[in-house]
Structure 1
Amino acid sequence: MMLGILDLDTTSNLISGFGGAILGVLATVWFERSNARKTMAFDLHRELNQESMMKARMDAQATLAAYSDYHLGELIREVPDELHSVWVISGFYDRLRIALDHRLVDSRFVSPLFGSLFCFFYFGFFEDQLLPAEWDISKNMNKLADTLRSNTPRNEWKAWVEAARREATRVRDATAKRRLKVDPQRLG
C-alpha cells in the first residue's frame, strides 16, 4: 500500500534513519560536553599550579598568617596593598564555584584535584579571617566548601580539615616567630 508517494517500508526506513541520526548527534554532543567538562577541570588545576599562582598562594598564606588577628574588613582598612594575592586566590576559587554551579566542570574531578588545597585556605585562613564577613566572598567560599564536602568521602574530608588547621597553625606560629626576630619591640 502506498502512503502518498512512499510505501510503508520506505517511510519506516526514513524514520529509523532520521531517529538514528538524531541519536548520533545527541551522543556526540553529550560526549563533547562531557569531555569539555573534564578538560576544564584539568585546565583549572593546571592554572592553580602555575608558577604565578603558586607564588600568589604563598603570598596569600604569608599575608593571612602575618595578620591572623585581622578579619576581612580590618585587612582592607589596614593593609589593602598586601591583599592582592588573597584576591587572586579567592577569585580563583570563586571561578571554580561558578564553573561548578553552571556545570562547566566535571564535579567528580573537583574534589580530588582541588579539595585538600582548598581546605588549607578555607579552614586554615578564610574561615576565621574572611568568612565572618557578610560579603559575597564569604557566601561563595561557603558554597564551594559545601559542594566539595558533599563530593568527598567523609573520612578524607575530615583528614583534609585536620591537616589544614594543623598546617595553618604551624605557618602562623612560624610567622609570629619571624616577626619577633625582626621586630624586638614586640617582645616587650
Structure 2
Amino acid sequence: MDAAEVLVAVFKRRFDRDAVFGVFHEGCLCGLRRTSHGRGGNRMAERDLIEEATEGVEDPDTFREACAVFGDAGALSRLRACRADLVTQLRLIGRNRTDVEALRKIAHQTAGRAGFLGFPALAEASAQLEEAIRTNASLTGPLQRWTQQARLAASGRPDACRDDTPPKP
C-alpha cells in the first residue's frame, strides 16, 4: 500500500478518525507481513528479546500492533521509555512533588502511551484520573487506581500488583 492508496482510502471514508487509523493499521500490517517473511534466524532472536522485554504487558496483541507500526526495536524503545517515565512519575507522586496540573499532564500522557503499548487498565485509570481532575472530583480513588496500575506496568511483572493486594513500594 503506497501513500496514494492511503489518501484515496481516507478520502473515500471522509476523514473519519477510525477510518484513518484503520487504513494506517492495514498498511502497517501489510508491511509487517512483507518484512517478517524471508528473514533468517535473527528474527527468532528478536522475537525472544521481545517476549522477554514485554513480560507483564497486559495485552500482547496490542503491543504486537505497536511493533508493526514502529518496528520491534522502536516499540521496545517506547516500552522501556514508558516504564522509566512511570518509575519517575511514581517517585514524584509518592513524594508529593506534583500539583494538580502536573498530575493532569501525567495522566494525559500516560493514557495514550499505555493504551498503545498494551496496558489497557493503566490507560483506563489514566483517563479516570484525568476526568476526576477536569471535573474537580475527589482524586483519592482515581489516583490510587492509577498508582496501582502504573506500578504494575513499570515493574514488568504480571503479578506485581493485583486488585486484591495493596500496591507494593
TM more than 0.5: no
Which structure is higher in RCO with an 8 Å CA cutoff and minimum separation 6? 1
- Determine which structure has the larger helix proportion and give its number: 1
Instruction: Give 1 or 2 for the bigger CA radius of gyration.
Output: 1
Q: TM-score, normalised to structure 2's length?
A: 0.30
